[in-house]
Every structure is written in C-alpha cells, then in structure tokens.
C-alpha cells in the first residue's frame, strides 16, 4: 500500500480510521538467516510471523501479501466476532451476589498465581470463541432447534466425605472462605 492509497483511505473515511486497515504484510530478513520471514495479520486479526522459505525479497513479499489476503477473506467470511468475554466479580456486582468466585479466590483454591488464572481465563474464552462446533451449536440455539438439558442436581452435589477431603486441603482462612462459596454453588438455590 503506497502513500496515495493511504491518503485515499483517510480522505474517504467517515470517521476515525482504524490503524489495522492501514497495516499490510511485510517481510524481514533475520540476521543469521538467508530466508525471508513474513509478518501479516492472521485470521484472528493478530500479527503472524511465518517463514516464506524464499531467499529473494520480492517473491517473499508477494507470498506474504497473498497470505494476508487469504486471512482477510477468512475474517470476512467469519463475520464480526463477539466481544471478548470476561468474568469479573467485583464487590457489589450481581456476580458477587450470585456467589461466583473472584480470580483471586480461584487462584487461592488452585494454588496458582493470579496472573496464571487471568491467562487461563483469556485462553479458554479464546478457544471457545473460535471452536467451530460451538459456533454451530450457537446457531442452532438461536434458531430454536436445540433445547437445553440441565444436569440433575445430584450430579453437582458433593458428599460429606468429598467436602471433608477438600476442606482438609485448605491452608488459609481465605481458601476456606472461597471453598464455602464453591460448596454453596454446588448445593444450588
């Protein structure tokens, strides 16, 4: 994309221009390599670095632009993705009153860092959002073809022995508090 195309985009835009519409594929030659590496926006809109396997710059750039074009077409075929979902339980929120756990409580119960819990949450939502079977199921649900089957309450109820075993694993008052909330969630309303 040359300066003329960029100016045209800026002139004909109705509002602010997203910088992503101005980014195009590029190629780079790593210091200790003779093969060009392409950088472009992939199917999910994130930057992708991929080796072209080519030693000449021009053919490598053509290949990178082709990959970017294919990724752009796939993004267009998918349609707009839903906003990135997050679960945030804050004091006074409806989630908090429903008894959901905060990320801190999950981290404490699983003996993980808060950062690991956040990254795991982000990764899980990303996988769910991209999974083709879940997209198909959502389409069926929206059209009313699928009826939700809820599990029986006994499938979620912990026995006294299970509760005692999990309680024995708690080390701090904070963990015990979080575990009480989990037990209350499994018992239902």
For 90-122, write each residue's pLDDT tens digit. Answer: 767 777 777 778 888 888 888 889 899 888 888
The rounded distance, in Å, linking the Cα atoms of 119 and 114 is 9
**Do residue 111 and residue 167 come from a single domain?**
yes
**Do residue 131 and residue 176 come from a single domain?**
yes
Q: How confident is the model at residue 149 (pLDDT cuts 50, 70, 90)?
A: low
The rounded distance, in Å, linking the Cα atoms of 158 and 185 is 11
Pairing of strands 37-41, 47-51: antiparallel
**Do residue 73 and residue 116 come from a single domain?**
no
**Do residue 65 and residue 22 come from a single domain?**
yes
**Do residue 47 and residue 108 come from a single domain?**
no
**Do residue 71 and residue 100 come from a single domain?**
no
The rounded distance, in Å, linking the Cα atoms of 61 and 24 is 10
**Do residue 67 and residue 105 come from a single domain?**
no
Does residue 86 sit within a domain? no
The rounded distance, in Å, linking the Cα atoms of 123 and 119 is 6
Does residue 85 sit within a domain? no
**Do residue 72 and residue 99 come from a single domain?**
no
Q: How confident is the model at residue 153 (pLDDT cuts 50, 70, 90)?
A: low
Number of domains in the chain: 2
Contact 50, 74 (CB under 8 A): no
CB-count burial class (<10 Å; 0-12, 13-18, 19+) for 25 = buried
187: nearest Cα among 155, 142, 161, 165:
155
Cα end-to-end distance, the chain, whole Å? 59
- pLDDT (mean) for 60-68: 92
**Do residue 101 and residue 182 come from a single domain?**
yes
**Do residue 98 and residue 172 come from a single domain?**
yes
Average pLDDT over all residues of the chain:
78
Does residue 88 sit within a domain? no
> What range does the domain containing 53 cover?
3-78
pLDDT at 184 over 70: yes
**Do residue 99 and residue 173 come from a single domain?**
yes
Per-residue model confidence (pLDDT) at position 189: 53
pLDDT at 42 over 60: yes
């Amino acid at each position: 994309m040359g300066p003329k195309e960029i100016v045209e985009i800026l002139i004909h835009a109705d509002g602010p221009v997203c910088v992503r519409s101005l980014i195009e594929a590029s190629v780079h030659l790593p210091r200790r390599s003779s093969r060009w590496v392409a950088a472009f926006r992939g199917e999910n809109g994130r930057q992708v670095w991929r080796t072209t396997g080519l030693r000449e710059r021009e053919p490598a750039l053509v290949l990178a632009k082709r990959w970017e074009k294919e990724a752009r077409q796939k993004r267009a075929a998918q349609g707009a993705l839903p906003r990135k979902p997050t679960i945030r339980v804050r004091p006074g929120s409806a989630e908090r009153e429903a008894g959901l756990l905060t990320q801190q409580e999950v981290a404490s119960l699983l003996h993980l860092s808060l950062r690991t819990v956040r990254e795991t949450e982000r990764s899980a939502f990303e996988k769910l959002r991209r999974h083709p079977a879940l997209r198909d199921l959502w389409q069926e649900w929206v059209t009313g073809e699928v009826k939700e089957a809820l599990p029986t309450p006994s499938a979620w109820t912990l026995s006294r022995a299970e509760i005692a075993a999990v309680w024995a694993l708690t080390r701090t008052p904070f963990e015990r508090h979080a575990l009480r909330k989990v037990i209350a969630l499994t018992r239902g309303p």
